[in-house]
Amino acid sequence: MKIQKKVILMLLIMIQCTAVFAKDYKASFFHIKSDGSTMNTRSIQFAIDYISKNGGGRLVFYVGRYLTGSIYMKSNVTIQLEEGAVLLGSTNPFDYDRIGNTALIHARDVENIGITGKGMIDGQGRPLANNSIAYANDGLIVDILKYDRTRESIRPMVIYFYNCVNVNIKDLILQNSACWLQTYERCKNMVIDNITVNNVAYWNSDGIDIVDCDNVVITNNKIDAADDGICLKSHTEGFFCHNILIENNIVRTSANGIKLGTAGKGGFRNIKILNNTVYNTYRSAIALQSVDGGFLEDIVVDGLKSTNTGHVIFLRLGERIPGKKSTMKRISIKNVVADVPIGKADAGYDYEGPIEDMPRNISPIIIAGLPGQYIEDVTFSNFDISYPGAGSKYMAYVALDKLDSIPEEAAGYPEFSMFKEIPAWGIYVRHAKNINFSNLSLKAEKKDYRLPIVMDDVHGAELKKITFQQIDQKKLLHTYKSTNVKVN
């Protein structure tokens, strides 16, 4: 860990020093207007181009509201938003370029760039998304409305950076995207530090998306998102997320808190998820998924506080692309304190997670591979988890002699609820090898018909110092089609 910290410190210094000797340029020097109504797109773009061509520097915005459409970052330029400065996204969909992903701020194949300061970027996502729907209904935008909303590729993000090196995103308030708020794809050497994300203006509103990036530090951020909070993805075979630190973040979402693998064609390696808090979150606090033919390995989760979150931890190996086999191995998760509510964890938010159309009792921690395709080498230690219990056969029921009836859902979209009823209230493991649990405390507040732990097709497992509290229940574990399972 000390070596990891040194690497992170060097990365921070390297990125931030790129601007130490850079010149500052006031936005007003380029006649960029702060009245909130003048369209500044061309003026801001001219300023970015000018600064880049003249040795680099910072374009500094002071107090005011600066309206713009799509702009493009250039090498050696930082946008500095001082406190009280607001970069305001247009609400007209036609003010955004539709080359690849649509966004307010683009960057492609550039280096030494940043967006910093205590100001704000406001994407005005709700009116922007509603206008795109209106234009689609009028035939001005070609789109098939799904769920009465336009596609994600049509609704602009706030930030989309592709293939950039040395990126610094720091101290900002970012809010109100019409879609995912910020996506960084195939970027290298990047810091996202101490930002505040308020992205609950519309559907599909992720907080931070990292796609096939290398050497990324995501620290000290506060995230409120309608969709996944911090989401790592891999879009392309041969590329993968590598050397990523996610530390000391506070996350609330109406989906998953910290998630790997919405897409996983390449993979994920050497990811550290340290000392994070997830609260009032609809789905899983931590979701690790390898379902598109890629790999997911060498992942450490150390220090997680999950409060009022609908599910705690979900590990999933799937096969959404027929014939594309995924792998998952060497996962360590430790020092977890969590409580799971009986009701909907995100009730009352504008864009809640969906009401499920199938009955099920509260789901346990899930580790689920596929037949002949095992999740391998997983260790859980130092857990203290409180469940509501109250699992009832009248709500949903899977008998322990009917475990084969639980669907595999190899091609299904990965979410912990995909299996419907699970016959355990604490931990469920299926199709796995070399699984080790130690020093776990599992509590169910009310009587539950299910056992604390169920293992199905598990080969090589050890359980040490496991305590459980549940009314009128004395048995800890049920195994099925499993070998070499040891309980101490």
Pick from 5-9, 366-370, 377-381: least confident: 5-9
Pick from 114-123, 147-156, 183-192, 452-461: least confident: 147-156
Helix, coil or strand: residue 248: coil
List the Cα angle 316/285/118 in 5-degree steps: 130
Q: What is the pLDDT of residue 355?
A: 87
Q: From CA 9, how far away is CA 320, in angstroms rounded?
A: 39
Q: Is residue 340 within 8 Å of 314, Cβ to Cβ?
A: no
- For residue 435, the cross-strand partners are 378, 461
Whether pLDDT at 14 is above 80? no
- For residue 217, the cross-strand partners are 191, 245
- For residue 234, the cross-strand partners are 264
Pick from 20-24, 116-120, 313-317, 381-385: least confident: 20-24
Q: From CA 228, how far away is CA 252, in angstroms rounded?
A: 9
Q: What is the pLDDT of residue 3?
A: 46
pLDDT per residue over 258-304, tens digit each? 999 989 999 999 999 999 999 999 999 999 999 999 999 999 999 99
Q: From CA 284, how far away is CA 296, in angstroms rounded?
A: 18
- Mean of the pLDDT values across residues 10-29? 71
Given the structure tokens 């988890």, which residue do they identify?
385
- Mean of the pLDDT values across residues 355-360? 87
Helix, coil or strand: residue 434: strand
Helix, coil or strand: residue 93: helix
Q: Is residue 398 within 8 Å of 423, Cβ to Cβ?
A: yes
Q: From CA 430, how far away is CA 63, in angstroms rounded?
A: 56
Q: What is the pLDDT of residue 161?
A: 98
Element containing residue 59 per DSSP (H, E) = strand 57-61
pLDDT per residue over 160-177, tens digit each? 999 999 999 999 999 999
Q: One-letter amino acid identity for 446?
A: K
- CA dist 88 to 70, 105, 148, 192, 431, Å? 11, 11, 26, 21, 50
Q: One-letter amino acid identity for 429?
A: V
Q: Is residue 363 within 8 Å of 387, Cβ to Cβ?
A: no
Given the structure tokens 């064609």, which residue do they identify?
265
- Mean of the pLDDT values across residues 401-410? 97
Q: From CA 203, how far away is CA 295, in angstroms rounded?
A: 29
**Hey, what are 377's tokens?**
């080498």
Alpha helices, DSSP H only, in 172-252? Answer: none
Helices (H) and strands (E) in the chain, counts: 3, 32
Q: From CA 138, how far away is CA 241, in angstroms rounded?
A: 41
Ramachandran region of residue 287, left (φ > 0), alpha (ψ -120 to 50) or beta?
Answer: beta
**Hey, what are 479's tokens?**
């195994």
String of DSSP letters for 282-331: EEEEEEEEE-SS-EEEEEEEEEEEEEEEEEEEEEEE--SSTT---EEEEE
Helix, coil or strand: residue 62: coil
Q: Pairing between strand 57-61 and 77-81?
A: parallel
- Mean of the pLDDT values across residues 206-217? 98
Whether pLDDT at 106 is above 90? yes
- Mean of the pLDDT values across residues 350-356? 90
Q: One-letter amino acid identity for 263?
A: A
Q: pLDDT band for position 158 (50/70/90)? A: very high
pLDDT per residue over 429-441, tens digit each? 999 999 999 999 9
Q: What are phi and psi of 343, to 5 degrees?
A: -100, -165
Q: What is the pLDDT of residue 346?
A: 96
With b for 16 or more beta-carbon neighbours within 10 A and e for fewer, the 17-47 pattern comes to ebbeebeebebeebebbbeeeeebbebbbeb
Whether pLDDT at 2 is above 70? no
Average pLDDT, the chain: 95
Whether pLDDT at 20 is above 50? no
Whether pLDDT at 18 is above 80? no
Q: What is the pLDDT of residue 153?
A: 87
Q: From CA 254, how far away is CA 309, in angstroms rounded?
A: 10
Percent of the chain with pLDDT over 90: 89
Q: From CA 158, how far away is CA 88, in angstroms rounded?
A: 10
Residue 371 gets which letter from DSSP?
T
